Amino acid sequence: MLVEGEEMRSLWWDEECGCLKLIDQRRLPFQLKIFDAESIEEVSYAIKKMVVRGAPAIGCAAAYGMVLADDKEKAARILRRTRPTAHDLFYAIDYMLENEGSLEAAHSYVDSTIEKCRKIGEVGEKLIAQGSRILTHCNAGALATVDWGTALAPIRMAKDRDIFVWVDETRPRLQGLLTSWELKQEGIKHALIADNAAGYFMSMGEVDMVIVGADRIASNYDVANKIGTYEKAVLAKENGIPFYVAAPASTFDEGISDGRKIKIEERDAEEVTKIFDYVPDEVRNPAFDVTPAKYITGIITENGIIKPSDKVLR
């Protein structure tokens, strides 16, 4: 991804310190700061506290986290407890256990994640017509995948087609600001909107397609993604707008038959309340929701596009 005109990844292994370096996503877009993780505990902190976030990037951070630990089984247990919904995390941990937690294995895991995202870009850009106005939710860009992104990879590749991106703000963690920051670095025209404005722009005929990422995809193609994705999918269907999900194979969980069985992470109430000086008796903060496959036009993967409607579901 471009950062101040230079190519940069959202995380990388630093040979000099023998540690993992990560762009601290909690500080963006206000400040570009690098977080050093020198132990398995620091990597697990970085994942839990969302220094690094986005399913594929969490998996890549975990891969390097395994390198930093002497006891790989214990490291796997620590990492599995960080965030429950992103399948890539568990996929990466299993891959590292199968490969003795070596640095070479972690490098190859990360390189293959980046390559899958580049291919998602190549597959998905063909769906984007000249002048398209695309809505996206959360951040499924290079920050969330180390490079390229999933939902943002096709958008990056189609950037010379006079496209425009509607960026949902994505309460409560505001990952839309990260998307806006990435698009700005790439010179891609976009507007940040409040989450509850998406339906308005759809109904006014100002959205041609939706592309979002995914945290876990059940075997019936129900998709868990950032909270608020489900309502965007329903609104898209109501307004006749194609709704695409972009995700690598590592996000598919064959072991889960349908989306209702996906574990949804519930995060701290403080994430919701910190912008106002009022503390209600109860706050709920689910970080993800599930979009049933019937709302999904296509899932863009590195191997082509899956059309859930062509498959036998349930």
Instruction: Give the interface with ligand MRU as residue ranges (CB under 6 A).
Output: 53-56, 86, 138, 140, 144-145, 150, 175, 213-215, 225-226, 287
Residue placing its CB nearer to ligand MRU in the complex, 103 or 115: 115
- The secondary structure of the chain in percent helix, strand, coil, rounded to multiples of 5, reads 40, 20, 40
Backbone conformation region of residue 204, classed left if phi is above 0, alpha if psi is from -120 to 50, else beta:
alpha
Residue placing its CB nearer to ligand MRU in the complex, 40 or 287: 287
**Least separation in angstroms between CB 300 and ligand MRU:** 12
Q: One of 215, 222, 253, 289 is an active-site residue; which one? A: 215
C-alpha distances out from residue 125 to 57, 167, 256, 291, Å = 22, 18, 29, 23
The phi, psi pair for 273, rounded to 5°, reads: -90, -15
209 has which bridge partners?
134
Please report where in the chains the tokens 């992104």 appear, as a residue.
Answer: 149
**Least separation in angstroms between CB 143 and ligand MRU:** 9
**Least separation in angstroms between CB 123 and ligand MRU:** 15
Residue placing its CB nearer to ligand MRU in the complex, 86 or 183: 86
Residue placing its CB nearer to ligand MRU in the complex, 101 or 301: 301
Active site residue 215: yes
Residue with nearest beta carbon to ligand MRU: 213
**Least separation in angstroms between CB 13 and ligand MRU:** 20
Active-site residue set: 215
